[in-house]
Amino acid sequence: MALRVLGLTAPSKKPQPWWWGVVALLALFVFTIPLYLDVAELYSISNFLVLAILALSMSFLWGYGGMLSFGQTAFFGLGGYTYAVLALNTGETTSALLIAVLLPMIFAAILGYFMIYGRISDIYFSVITLVVTLILEKGIRATSGDQYVIGSVRLNGQNGIPTTPSLQLPWDAKAQLDIADVFYVAAGLLFVTYIGLRLLLLTRFGRILVSIKENERRSELLGYDTRRYKWLAFVIAGGIAGLAGAMWGIWGNFVGPNMFNLNQAAQVVIWVIVGGKSTLIGPIGGTVAVQYLTDWLGTQGVGQVSLILGIILMVMVLLFQQGLLPSAGIIAAFAKDRLGLTRRGRAS
């Protein structure tokens, strides 16, 4: 209802022809950004785009699979570290990027098997994923000694790996991508992920996933093995988060234990909750808005960003549970109703 007011349709419906138009226009807009912005701005926007991919993985899993995984940062960090370690060891980045997607998927498959096939309840699922990312962070932080080496790469504990190489062209290892190129790659991957997820939700798999979110027991009684679908969704989301992590390493030429930490995990939830989890496009907007705000606050020297993130999270949960965009829709619908602008209002 609220979405219809703003002219949005829920992604479980087939996209209208104009949707493709809107996406194409957006893509055109994003891809022309490098023409009129300087390198520093481009650099920070690339960051938003990469983080939006992470937000999409969370939004897909939570908004459509009904699973609130706080551990998306675990896959994010794992993807980043996998990319850094492999690229530094082999000197070749394309396969490193692929494996940085694959390895988090395998990890998600194992973890998901224990959690989803163990049928632990939603809330335990959230807590366990959170604990996993916290413990991974602790593990990585403890690797500061000389003995923690994978191949020729030192893990460096607290300090992370600051020599993470940028992406090379697959056919020419000497051609390193510069900041503008990384922007294009990030934007391209974001669009591909968004459109891919949107289309995935239209398939049989996507529809069953949404039905499980709506009513798991009923879907199960209809004969679907709900565990398999949830498990697959978890693995897919893990892969997307891993991709985001590798891209983040490429973007900043750095991976570190902060990728796993609680603030990072909280930010992912805040992006999705601010954008509203009932659409896929909302969390992308939420990511850009919140990241822009935190970056801006960082430069203003207000001190503790987590103080402000905490307030945002509490206010959002207590007052605007649907997210800002859908909440605006609800308020608009209410206002229309009150002002007698809706058809029903006019008829009476």
Partner 1 sequence: MDEVAIYAFQIGFAFAILILISLGLAVIFGMMRVINLAQGEFLMLGAYFCTLITQSGVNLWLAFLLSGLAVGVFGIIVEVVIIRWLYGRILDTLLATWGLSLFLVGGVTTLFGPQSESVAAPLGRFSVGVYGISQYSLVVIAVALALLAGTYALWRYTRFGLVVRGTMQNPTMAAGLGIRTWLVYMLTFGFGSALTGLAGAVLAPIVGAAPPMGVFFIGKAFITVIAGGQMPLLGTISASGLFGTIDGVVSYISSSVVGEMGMLFVAIILLRLLPLGITGRLKRGI
Residues that bind partner 1 (CB under 8 A): 68, 111, 114-115, 117-120, 122-124, 126-128, 130-132, 134-135, 138-139, 141-142, 261-263, 266, 269, 273, 303-318, 321
Query: Nearest distance from residue 255's CB to partner 1, in Å?
Result: 19
Nearer to partner 1, 130 or 247 (CB): 130
d(CA 266, CA 271) in angstroms, rounded, equals 9
Query: Nearest distance from residue 135's CB to partner 1, in Å?
Result: 5
Query: Nearest distance from residue 330's CB to partner 1, in Å?
Result: 17
Which of 293, 278, 284 is CA-nearest to residue 323?
278
The answer to whether 58 and 130 have CB atoms below 8 angstroms apart is no
Nearer to partner 1, 101 or 132 (CB): 132
β-partners of residue 169 are: 172
Query: Nearest distance from residue 169's CB to partner 1, in Å?
Result: 39
Nearer to partner 1, 198 or 277 (CB): 277
Nearer to partner 1, 10 or 262 (CB): 262
Cβ neighbours for 293, distance < 8 A, ≥ 6 positions apart: 308
Q: Is 7 exposed, middle or buried (0-12, 13-18, 19+ CB in 10 A)?
A: exposed
Query: Nearest distance from residue 196's CB to partner 1, in Å?
Result: 27
CA atoms within 13 A on the CB side of 324: 17
d(CA 149, CA 60) in angstroms, rounded, equals 35
Query: Nearest distance from residue 76's CB to partner 1, in Å?
Result: 17
Count other C-beta atoms under 10 Å from residue 223's C-beta.
6
Nearer to partner 1, 42 or 262 (CB): 262
Nearer to partner 1, 111 or 243 (CB): 111
One-letter amino acid identity for 90? Answer: T
C-alpha distance from residue 348 to each of 5, 57, 131, 332, 345 (Å): 20, 45, 55, 20, 6
Nearer to partner 1, 273 or 280 (CB): 273
Q: Which tokens sit at 26? A: 């957006």
Query: Nearest distance from residue 137's CB to partner 1, in Å?
Result: 9
